[in-house]
Structure 1
């Protein structure tokens, strides 16, 4: 299953990158690109993704001196680093460069993909200190999935590649790996994750307990006005009907409704940030229908009709309606597909 928050993180502290001649930003991006190549060589990521370069004064972190986000890896990221380098990585300043990377894992003989399987970042203090961080966003490396179900074969098939990457990053950085603190989902270790088959997961259903509510809060923060009385109920114990929201051939999420008056949108985590961006206008349209007194099932039909007439705008709502035995089942689909 794919998460919107890290399942685990690992850290390294390489030698300083800042010298008297400057160029610290470009060297940081060079290190970042080299580490991304390690992940590619280990078969964890595809090399596709988006990066960022942010330079701040530590006394005013909310007002960046330079910021570029959504930058493709490669020449565009190097160019952004060059412009940040011209601003200057001086003492009392902090540089953050990183990449969100698409990646793949193997499950039941099939190759699965997520648009953000890992994030990799390099932080550099103007005085010279460096921190490298790697974050993972799936449970493919675990012997127990995020719902507490054993998946030893999945973990054993994928974990060696993660272990190899962690070891190679230590070699490139010249620093030992420091596993991050235990998360709600797993306990990171120097070679990947601790074997949950021996100790059992921290929570029986971390997915339902933490991930699903976190996704809802993330969507509500993006929706103008946040959650309100004008919205349909966001949970139901009944079966749901849903349609897929997509952009091109990629499914971004699922718009759903139930007969007891609930309706909402479930982002497809494998699609990354685009899944959350696509959900906002559809949730706004549901809110508009609710304020007009339209029942939830009819609101879904209304939006399907608007999409068929080409009035959906942006992402597309497929005209095919599916059924799920429960909202919980649809939420799990949104994390697995």
Structure 2
């Protein structure tokens, strides 16, 4: 029998490399008790799976990665952000007619919502030709499906020769399509960095 978990609620650090001692203190004993109960029921001890970049499984849960340090200083930026970008672009054709997707500058953004649920954030850099869409992790596949359409709108702005900031306003003035979500604010919000906006988009 194979038992798998895709949650970080058992760990001392979450998958964004942030310490969560209270979460660990509450949930780690539950996992240990569950594994002990399964072992007693089956009459044998579990065989831990392979270590990954977040934790090392044991017979009673997971080792504390803070003891020797995590495998990566920024696993969120190293793995999850590129993976989200790849998934987002898989729904649209490749193109060179688009803005840069990364920036070190502050960004302006609009929240995209559908039926009161936030799907993601469309953004543009202040002072650079960079713009894009950050899917909200908690919205799942809906965030990526909608995001692909918002990226196509940004491509339209790029083809019109607009700066990134102007593109954000241009996209906001396009005819609404409720199926891909609607812009929630009357004016764009400000974020000190794209990293901060990606942090926001990754929260549950």
- Bigger Rg, structure 1 or 2: 1
Tell me the TM-score range normalised by the shorter chain: 0.7 to 0.9
Change (3 A) 1:162 1:270: farther
1:316 aligns with 2:185: no
TM score, norm. by length of structure 1 = 0.54
1:290 aligns with 2:171: no
Separation in structure 1 between the aligned mates of residue 39 and residue 144 of structure 2, nearest angstrom = 34
Change (3 A) 1:274 1:195: same
Separation in structure 2 between the aligned mates of residue 171 and residue 275 of structure 1, nearest angstrom = 42
Cross-structure match for 1:242: 109
Cα root mean square deviation, aligned: 2.4
Separation in structure 1 between the aligned mates of residue 3 and residue 61 of structure 2, nearest angstrom = 14
Per-residue deviation, 1:258: 0.8
Separation in structure 2 between the aligned mates of residue 172 and residue 293 of structure 1, nearest angstrom = 67
Per-residue deviation, 1:133: 4.7
Cross-structure match for 1:207: 76
Per-residue deviation, 1:322: 1.6
Q: Number of residue pairs matched?
A: 202
- If each structure's strand is expressed as a fraction of its own residues, which one has the higher value? 1
Per-residue deviation, 1:150: 2.9
Separation in structure 2 between the aligned mates of residue 230 and residue 188 of structure 1, nearest angstrom = 45
Uncovered stretches (5+) of structure 1, i.e. residues with no partner: 1-11, 13-131
Cross-structure match for 2:58: 189
Cross-structure match for 2:4: 134
Per-residue deviation, 1:279: 1.1
Change (3 A) 1:206 1:298: same
CA contact (8 A) 1:146 1:205 kept: no
Uncovered stretches (5+) of structure 2, i.e. residues with no partner: none
Per-residue deviation, 1:149: 3.7
Cross-structure match for 2:86: 217
Separation in structure 2 between the aligned mates of residue 174 and residue 211 of structure 1, nearest angstrom = 38
Q: What are the within-5 Å matches in structure 2 for residues 252-291 of structure 1? A: 252-259=119-126, 260-291=128-159
Per-residue deviation, 1:140: 2.9
Cross-structure match for 1:179: 48
1:304 aligns with 2:175: no
Per-residue deviation, 1:240: 0.7
Match of 2:22 among 126, 139, 153: 153
Per-residue deviation, 1:214: 1.1
Q: What are the within-5 Å matches in structure 2 for residues 83-162 of structure 1? A: 132-136=2-6, 138-162=7-31
Separation in structure 1 between the aligned mates of residue 150 and residue 91 of structure 2, nearest angstrom = 12
CA contact (8 A) 2:53 2:70 kept: no
Separation in structure 1 between the aligned mates of residue 163 and residue 55 of structure 2, nearest angstrom = 41
CA contact (8 A) 1:222 1:280 kept: yes
Cross-structure match for 1:45: none
Structure 1 counterpart SS, 2:4: strand
TM score, norm. by length of structure 2 = 0.85
1:336 aligns with 2:203: yes
Displaced runs of 4 or more, over 6 A = 171-175
Deviations 1:243-284 (A, max 9, x none): 112221221211111121111111111222222222111111
